[in-house]
Amino acid sequence: MRATNPLLPGCYPDPSICRAGDWYYLVTSTFEMWPGLPIFRSRDLVRWEQIGHVIDRPDQMTFAGVQSSHGLFAPTIRHHNGIFYVVCTRVGQPDAPQHGNFLVTAEDPAADWSEPVWLADEAGTPVDGIDPSIFFDSEGRVWLHGTRPARSPEWDSQTEVWLREYDSSRGVVVGEEHIIWTGAVRGAVWAEGPHLFEHEGRFYLLAAEGGTEIHHAVCIARSSSVTGPYQGNRANPVLTHRHLGHPGHGAGPEVVGVGHADLVQGPEGSWWAVLLGMRPYGGYHYNLGRETFLVPVHWQDGWPVFATGEGQVPAEVDIPFANDDAAPLTSPQHITAGPVLAGDMRWNSLRGPWEEFAEPQGAGWRLRVQPATLAERTTPSFLGVRQQHKSLDQVAELDLSELAPGEEAGVVVRQSEEHHAYLSLERTTDGWLTRTVLHQPEGDTVLSDRSLPAAALDPSAAGLGLHIREQEYTFTLDDELCAVVDGRQLDTVTTGGFLGLWLGVFATSHGRHTSSSLSLRRFDYAPLT
């Protein structure tokens, strides 16, 4: 049976994977989106189902005030002696109590995870940097490692990988700090995403470098001691697509920016790597964000070889142990036409729980209108799902009957609080104002603006459509054209940051307190390609 790449389409970056018994478990970054750190499982690396989130309770943490593309960076998941561990970084607001590197645990990854242990040494000095990872060696010792800017850099944006022992009984790092890596290629920026492994008496350090864009790459080093020194593979980088061309200059690869890999061994001895990559289209633009891919790994001459015989991420990966007749799991990469039920774990809010303003209602949602707008670093009345397909038709049927004059609701394509586009309906004293807006830091561009008398709209069943054909985003109201937005104005290459696009619904009273609500009666996401 074959696994299709990307394994998880849409914005599922920085994947980390482990195995417990017959199950594989995988987590990815989520930044300011809530809940945080989705967790998936699979028996065969082909069929994946989401079973929950690692960060889903306000007592663990929230992200109020965190700017877009900050929040939760690069988790690592491991399983040891019946316990699951996730270490991660909360980025942004360095003076906040909840900031820096943390560890959470669970016996059942589908149930509640613990409150975070904020990682520090015995004196209380926080562990710095980003991209923490945890390693359990064969002697029973536990090691934390991560990335930070080099203390004595030889070039701009050079980073270093540090390593310290972790005393899990006290929740602190102890002993001497070891700098075990500064990058495989001189001048390469951002050696990051480190993971340690033990194989046949050697220790292996897997790391990314080159920055999370076209020059991203996977590198490997090894040592006879966990504390080093580590010798880089002379074949480094062992996986990259940067030599295949740049899609912004004509023909280029279908997948770019591959890197940030993690390894896992199957129960029968096979090895596999998950990693991130982007699928550009319409030039060098990747609206779907950084996605999760899978490649096979084979050991040769004491080194892991990624995508043996191909040297790049394949469109499909043969999984010899996957059973064609096995019952399919609910796969996160398939969204079919029809209602997306409110219990679907793909729904996200911003920076805090959707329970603060929404509740499931039938096959949809009921949302309380809040004063906050999409341009603020808070938890507005917003619910959305990742864009996972280049072309799709989406229709949201909204009941706006309870909106008061000056209150607004609609559908949105969101990149960040600074960059988004939306079609909205605002109630006026004698009808409705419908507008399509491209919101950017330099100001709003109103693409369409039309007043409707009350009799021209049924507010109990307003159909707001979004029809995406690659980089063409067309907004419609009850099947009538409102405006077209160029999607290249919203992707990461243009706007900066680390997120793909989210498609959703929102409501705001523009700063006024209100008791109004609206209903999302139906939300159809029908993928085309």
Nearest to 297, CA basis, from 316, 269, 277: 269
Taking the C-alpha atoms of residue 439 and residue 18, their distance in angstroms, rounded to an integer, is: 40
**328 falls in which pLDDT band (50, 70, 90)?**
low
Which domains does the chain possess? 2-318 (2.115.10.20), 349-527 (2.60.120.200)
Secondary structure E strands in 119-229: 130-136, 142-149, 159-167, 172-181, 192-199, 202-209, 217-223
pLDDT at position 326: 66
Segment 105-123 mean pLDDT: 97
Structure tokens at 328: 């399919």
pLDDT at position 415: 98
Q: Is the dihedral of CA 270, 274, 275, 278 positive or negative?
A: positive
- Catalytic annotation present for 192: yes
Q: Where is pLDDT greater, at 224 or 94?
A: 224
Confidence check: pLDDT of 338 > 70 = no
**327 falls in which pLDDT band (50, 70, 90)?**
low
pLDDT at position 81: 97
pLDDT at position 342: 56
Out of 131, 160, 192, 524, which one is annotated catalytic?
Answer: 192
**252 falls in which pLDDT band (50, 70, 90)?**
confident
Give tens-digit pLDDT for 285-296.
999 999 999 999
CB 26 within 8 A of CB 16: yes
CB 38 within 8 A of CB 26: no
State residue 107 phi and psi, 5-degree precision: -80, -35
Share of the chain above pLDDT 90, in %: 90
Segment 356-377 mean pLDDT: 93
**267 falls in which pLDDT band (50, 70, 90)?**
very high
Structure tokens at 429: 């004293």
Confidence check: pLDDT of 90 > 50 = yes
Confidence check: pLDDT of 332 > 60 = no
State residue 332 phi and psi, 5-degree precision: -70, -15
Which residues are bridge partners to 3 per DSSP?
317
pLDDT at position 329: 60
Confidence check: pLDDT of 235 > 60 = yes
Taking the C-alpha atoms of residue 77 and residue 88, their distance in angstroms, rounded to an integer, is: 9
Secondary structure E strands in 5-114: 16-20, 23-27, 33-34, 36-42, 49-55, 71-80, 83-91, 100-106
Give tens-digit pLDDT for 395-430.
999 999 999 999 999 999 999 999 999 999 999 999
Task: List b or e across 338-353, with b for residues whose CB sees 16 or more CB atoms inside 10 angstroms.
Answer: ebbebeebebbbbbbe
Give tens-digit pLDDT for 453-469.
999 999 999 999 999 99
Taking the C-alpha atoms of residue 37 and residue 178, their distance in angstroms, rounded to an integer, is: 29
Least confidently predicted of 103-117, 420-434, 515-529: 515-529
**333 falls in which pLDDT band (50, 70, 90)?**
very low
pLDDT at position 142: 98
Indicate the average pLDDT of the chain.
Answer: 94
Segment 7-29 mean pLDDT: 97
pLDDT at position 334: 40
Structure tokens at 453: 């008398």
Burial class (CB in 10 A: 0-12, 13-18, 19+), 268: exposed
Residue 344's identity, in one-letter code, is D
pLDDT at position 96: 75
**341 falls in which pLDDT band (50, 70, 90)?**
low
pLDDT at position 97: 76
Taking the C-alpha atoms of residue 239 and residue 298, their distance in angstroms, rounded to an integer, is: 13
Give tens-digit pLDDT for 137-190.
999 999 999 999 999 999 999 999 999 999 999 999 999 999 999 999 999 899
Least confidently predicted of 25-29, 58-62, 320-324, 403-407: 320-324
CB 388 within 8 A of CB 288: yes
Secondary structure E strands in 387-516: 391-399, 408-414, 420-427, 431-440, 443-453, 462-469, 472-477, 480-486, 502-508
Give tens-digit pLDDT for 201-210.
999 999 999 9
Give tens-digit pLDDT for 478-501.
999 999 999 999 999 999 999 999
- pTM higher than 0.85 for the full model? yes
- Catalytic annotation present for 200: no
Confidence check: pLDDT of 196 > 60 = yes
Which residues are bridge partners to 134 per DSSP?
144
CB 356 within 8 A of CB 496: no
pLDDT at position 30: 98
Residue 55 CA, distance from chain mean position: 13
